[in-house]
Chains A and B, each alone.
Chain A
Amino acid sequence: MVSIPADTSDDDRTDVLPPGYRLGRWEVTGQIGSGGWATVYAGRPVDGTDAGEGEEVALKILPTAGLGPSQARKVADTARREVELGRRTGHPRLIRLLESLVLSDPRYPLLDGAIVLVMERAADSLRTLLAAGVSEDEAAGLFTGICEGLAHLHRSGWVHGDLKPDNVLVMADGSVRLSDFGLATELTGTHGTHGYAPPMGTLDYLPPERWKAPLGEHGVKVRPSADIWALGIMIHEAFAHGAAPFPGATPAARGAAVQEYAEGRAPLRLSGELPPFWRELAADCLAPTHAERGAHTAESLLARINGRPDGTASAAGAAIRRRRWLVRSTVLAAAGCGAAAAIWSYALPGNAHDHPAAVGSTGSASQSAGSIRVFNIEQSCRQRNDRSPQCSLGLAIDPLQPYTIDNVVPTRVWHGDVLPVDCRLPKGIPIIDEAGTESAQWFRVRLPEGSRRTTAWLPAVRTQDRPAVPECPRPTPLR
């Protein structure tokens, strides 16, 4: 709700609070956005009160005036859920509710009696971050935070019930906060397995069983696996440029596609853009039935994200900082060695077998232990095969020395190249790629005939292969 841009047209159904308007200990500084039932303002503590030192807050205003009794009850119920959840299950990954109050001002008849929720102020929502595009490591940081929040919610006996990128907020330091608990449901039932929520939700994030869920006295049945489904949709959106995993031009069409999949008439077709680890994770979250999804809890997913291959499970903020540093150093390396690009220019990806030196099984002096395929983390480089210098990657002379311009062989490699590999060095100098993935492992690869050197070193972050090759003898320092 928070991320919807403010409607600047005159809407006679709402009053707008001017900057400087006081709400208890807080004053309005401007409007952030408005959604279905709420308008959100930015605010700050009024000087001289004990509200905190200059901390920016979000003031979520839920008007009740002008609504019929049943609608007003619905709004009050929404607010009650938020307050209840905030009071009972505080956690660093859930947006903090500072206070709730009631606006009382006859000058604004439409806002008189509105419920005001005072919350900590976020910098962005996941929705806006996804629109701008996130790297794999940034996404890893974000989903780590989301799973931490979800694991806490579920452990505390609550289901979020309306998980979507608009309700995942990101603070200025890059940390994640789940927000908008208007549909959050406390688990009841004999074993605390499910709860009942109002029959509301966001169509693109509803699990298949919800489209057919019967409506009972207390609402529809909601289980933690509903949040897991929504998580799967968000993972797909994060890696597929915002695209939903189910086809269709409208929410209704996508909902029908969800049904076809859940009833076994259509396979799950995830975008090829998802890296293998995330693809598997999304597929597990999007298991067709509640029972199959039940095997994957927020906690187990969190453990998998933290333990993913080469995963550093870093906070998103740290990942972004490191990314900047590394982009600079690789650009340097690429610029210094562009002249040598011609050497392998005919060994295009896919026909490496035509090039004896690239495989090492024919004509080489000795058999190599295996082969390894170069991987370029930059997606734009993976999509082209013109071996442009900007997309070339370097090989080190000495894996124990800093990976700088004078420690790189003239031979360049490109995404998809297959190199003969002799052995691996588990602990060389640590290398961080453009997405923030870090590894100290290196592979000794053979260079084509005619190169000045016979071997060079490929950092493990430059390949997704983990060939079963022997450990290298520790190289003798060159300098």
Chain B
Amino acid sequence: MSGVVIYLPPGVGDHGEEPDGGVTLRLGAGETARFGRGSATTPVELRLIDAAISRLAGEIRVTEDHWQLSNHSTTQSYLVENPEGAGEYLRVPPRRAGAPIPFEFSRVVLPTRRDTTVAFQVFAPDHLYMDPDAVGGHRGTRTVTAYSLDETAIYFLVLVALCEPRLRDESPLAVPTTPQIVERLRAHPACARLTARAVSSHIDYLAEEKMRISAPDEYGPARGGRRNGKRESIVGLALRFGLVREEHLTLLPPRTGGGHGVHTGRHLG
């Protein structure tokens, strides 16, 4: 239970000394953050710079393993989109207090006067998933894996792709590179537009929020750079502790032969 992470992309928030960077805010269980244009008399934790947004536009409260959104606007509805949900979204009407948000990944969208919108992201990595053998439901009295991963999320596909060579006993050492993962997942319907940058973000999210990987010593340059050390740690731990198993290989799109996967759709004769 580490709460939620809120990320204001560059250009949306007031980020003071970091003109080009976004703003990241971490909230623990029971904590709240207000968002809006803010003022001296209406302080907010997340400042959104758009004239159409009220001084106190809304509030985020971390509760249990999810979060709640209160809409302080008297006229505007806010949308909460699930960027991985194929169009799944919630509308939070004006003056709604504490609407529970069920998505692990959310994009909160506020309307502006222009044709554009202001949006920020909220991650809720604490979502709990039952172990596959927990058939009798989840009562808090069963022994379970303390790290739960959404096996339908893109980060999980990235994780399986990272682990694939070792699961298939092809290469005990090599962990796929980011371009290799982009290529490997391209045929998956959810990953057609997956970028290298997104893959890197998913890997960071897995390492920092989901698996909370320690052992920074292994990230030394002698091991081929920080990023590779992190990948190797993720793969090693996911396999060692059974977070990714052989049966998960079926989640990946079929391989297109020979491990090179370039010559598809050709019929001879």
Q: Give residues in A with beta carbon < 8 Å to B.
A: 1, 4, 7, 11, 35-37, 68-71, 74, 127, 162, 164-166, 182-183, 198-204, 206, 210-217, 219-220, 244, 248, 250-260, 263, 265-266
Contact = CB atoms under 8 A, between A and B. Distances in A.
15 contacts: A7-B135, A70-B246, A74-B241, A199-B241, A203-B144, A203-B146, A211-B2, A215-B212, A216-B214, A217-B240, A244-B140, A248-B64, A251-B138, A253-B65, A259-B30
Contacts of A68: 245-247
A129 to B, nearest CB: 14
A212 B240 CA distance: 19
Interface in B224-257: 233, 236-237, 239-242, 245-247
A258 B140 contact: no
Contacts of A198: 241
Closest 10 CB pairs of A and B: A251-B140, A214-B214, A68-B246, A252-B65, A256-B29, A204-B140, A253-B64, A260-B30, A211-B1, A259-B29
Nearest to B243: A199
Interface string B133-167: 11110111111111100000000000000000000
Contact of A202 (B2, B62, B141): B141
Contacts of B138: 250-251
Contacts of A265: 28-31
A250 B64 contact: yes
Contacts of B233: 217
Nearest to A265: B30
A202 B142 contact: yes
A347 B269 CA distance: 106
A251 B146 contact: no
B213 interface: yes
Interface of B: 1-3, 28-31, 62-65, 126, 128, 131, 133-136, 138-147, 211-215, 233, 236-237, 239-242, 245-247
Contacts of B2: 211-212
Contacts, number: 134
B246 A217 contact: no
Nearest to B233: A217
A461 B10 CA distance: 70
A219 B213 contact: no
A201 B30 contact: no
A213 B2 CA distance: 10
B64 A252 contact: yes
A74 B239 CA distance: 11
B145 A200 contact: yes
B1 A255 contact: yes
A166 B141 CA distance: 8
Q: Is the interface of A mostly helix, strand, loop or mixed?
A: mixed
Contacts of A252: 1, 64-65, 126, 128
A183 B141 CA distance: 15
A251 B232 CA distance: 32
Nearest to B236: A217
A255 B30 CA distance: 12
A37 B126 CA distance: 25
Contact of B245 (A71, A201, A216, A250): A71
Given A216-B213, A250-B64, 7 more contacts: A36-B133, A70-B242, A162-B143, A215-B212, A215-B214, A252-B64, A255-B126
Contacts of B136: 4, 7
Point out which of A35, A164, A199, A200 has the most chain B C-beta atoms below 10 A from its C-beta: A199
A250 B28 CA distance: 18
Nearest to B134: A36
A115 to B, nearest CB: 16
A274 B245 CA distance: 45
B28 A220 contact: no
B126 A251 contact: no
Given A250-B64, A263-B28, A258 B1 contact: yes
A265 B64 CA distance: 14
B31 A213 contact: no
A255 B212 contact: no
B236 A266 contact: no
B133 A203 contact: no
Point out which of B30, B141, B147 has the most chain A C-beta atoms below 10 A from its C-beta: B141
B143 A1 contact: yes
A214 B242 CA distance: 16
Given A200-B145, A250-B64, A251-B140, A256 B241 contact: no
Contacts of B63: 253, 256
A259 B28 contact: yes
Contact of A127 (B128, B134, B141, B212): B141
B242 A74 contact: yes
Contacts of B29: 256-257, 259-260, 263, 265
B237 A251 contact: no
Contacts of A203: 128, 140, 144, 146
A257 B126 CA distance: 13
Nearest to B245: A68
A442 B83 CA distance: 73
Contacts of B246: 68-70
Given A7-B135, A36-B133, A204 B212 contact: no
Point out which of A70, A183, A200, A266 has the most chain B C-beta atoms below 10 A from its C-beta: A70
Contacts of B28: 259-260, 263, 265
Nearest to A68: B246
A334 B114 CA distance: 83
B145 A199 contact: yes
Contact of B143 (A202, A215, A260): A202
Contacts of A248: 64
B30 A199 contact: no
A45 B30 CA distance: 55
Contacts of B64: 248, 250, 252-253, 256
A203 B145 CA distance: 9
B156 to A, nearest CB: 16
B210 to A, nearest CB: 10
Contacts of A11: 135
B237 A200 contact: no
Contacts of A266: 30
Contact of B237 (A165, A217, A256): A217
B48 to A, nearest CB: 26
A10 B33 CA distance: 50
A256 B214 contact: no
Contacts of B139: 251
A250 B65 CA distance: 10
A36 to B, nearest CB: 5
Contacts of B1: 211-212, 252, 255-256, 258-259
A198 B236 CA distance: 13
A201 B147 CA distance: 10
Contacts of A253: 63-65
